[in-house]
Amino acid sequence: MQNILTLITAPHNAVLTPRLASAVRDALALARGRVGPADWLDPGIACDIPFDGVDLKEAEKVARIALRNAPVDVVAQANTPNRRKKALVADMESTIIRNEMLDELAYLAEIGEQVAEITRKAMNGELDFYAAIRERVALLKGQPASLLDDAAKRIRLMPGAAALVTTLKTHGVHCALVSGGFDYYTRPIAEQLGFDEQQANTMLIENDAIAGIAEPILGREAKLEALQRVARERGIAVADCMAVGDGANDLAMLEAAGYGVAYHAKPAVQAAARINIRHGDLTALLYLQGYRADEVFGRG
């Protein structure tokens, strides 16, 4: 069949039962679709439902109604030969790691609420990213550089991050970590998880104190350019790439990529993105591409 509806839930909350899958299949059939049997990628966690005769957006709408608010992500897509992408370009903060590192630094400097509010507005597209990062770094100016190491100790990986990168690398996928944050953090995270490359801003340090941010600042345009560069250098189309992120400065690369995934994203990003993962962990990006349970390494 020409299309696939993928249902995904979080591995720690494997609520995707055959009954729920059957309810979705019945709903698609009632919408005058031709529906195939469910193909279980990972029992309880993910399955594909092939279908024809229903628009992709309509299929997603019908499926969500049939699921009755169950915590299951729904993605309808064309059944194309390039479903498995050849490159991943991933945002880091609140995507690959749980943290926003400027917020962590600010809490340690006891100006956390002030900085976190600026971060929230910038990531939801309510403030200009470049002005917002300059303002937040300015608030930290003069703080001891040792705070950078203290904040690093607070980093927590997003569930499924290691499994995502390890699985993709095992299958020959090029993985790039891009961030509007700082290379002080992207470098060790990229090395820990096995990313092929990383890109981020540089924090300026003078006399053992935070002094500012190096120009030019890397943000929305730099992330899009990184996606395009990765595709060009790998000799592949941008359509053969997957991008994932959560904030407004990720939208350009999400819109350009073959798969642009808003991952537990800010409201404005969810509204704009074609693919949303709201319930699953980062292994959802594997199931979107048709990977099966026995191909996923080190899930958790």
Domain boundaries, the chain: 3-79, 87-286
| Average pLDDT of the segment spanning 90-119 | 95
72 has pLDDT over 90: yes
Dist. CA 119–CA 180, nearest whole Å: 12
Dist. CA 226–CA 221, nearest whole Å: 9
| Average pLDDT of the segment spanning 1-5 | 96
276 has pLDDT over 70: yes
- The closest of 170, 101, 173 to 137, measured between CA atoms, is 101
pLDDT above 70 as % of the chain: 99
- State the DSSP code for 247: S
Dihedral of alpha carbons 176, 179, 182, 186, sign:
negative
The CATH number of the structural domain formed by 87-286 is 3.40.50.1000
| Average pLDDT of the segment spanning 120-137 | 91
- Which stretches of the chain are DSSP H helices? 18-30, 56-67, 101-108, 112-123, 129-140, 146-152, 161-170, 183-193, 220-234, 251-256, 267-272, 284-288
53 has pLDDT over 80: yes
Indicate if 87-286 has the same CATH topology as 3-79.
Answer: no
Q: pLDDT grade, residue 123 (50/70/90)? A: confident
The predicted pLDDT at position 124 comes to 87
299 has pLDDT over 90: no
How many CB atoms within 10 Å of residue 294? Answer: 8
Contact yes or no for 160/283 (Cβ under 8 A): yes
258 has pLDDT over 90: yes
| Average pLDDT of the segment spanning 77-101 | 96
pLDDT tens digits for 192-241?
999 999 999 999 999 999 999 999 999 999 999 999 999 999 999 999 99
| Average pLDDT of the segment spanning 108-132 | 91
Dist. CA 9–CA 15, nearest whole Å: 7
The predicted pLDDT at position 94 comes to 97
| Average pLDDT of the segment spanning 115-128 | 90
Q: Which CATH number fits domain 3-79: 3.40.50.2000, 3.30.565.10, 3.30.70.260, 3.40.50.20?
A: 3.30.70.260
Ramachandran sector of residue 160 (left: φ over 0; alpha: ψ -120 to 50; beta: rest): left
Mean of the per-residue pLDDT values for the chain? 96
| Average pLDDT of the segment spanning 148-176 | 98
Q: By CB neighbour count within 10 A (0-12 exposed, 13-18 middle, 19+ buried), where does 267 fall?
A: exposed
How many CB atoms within 10 Å of residue 89? Answer: 32
The predicted pLDDT at position 281 comes to 98
**Whole-model pTM?**
0.95
Dist. CA 224–CA 222, nearest whole Å: 5
The predicted pLDDT at position 300 comes to 47
Does residue 29 sit in helix, strand or coil? helix
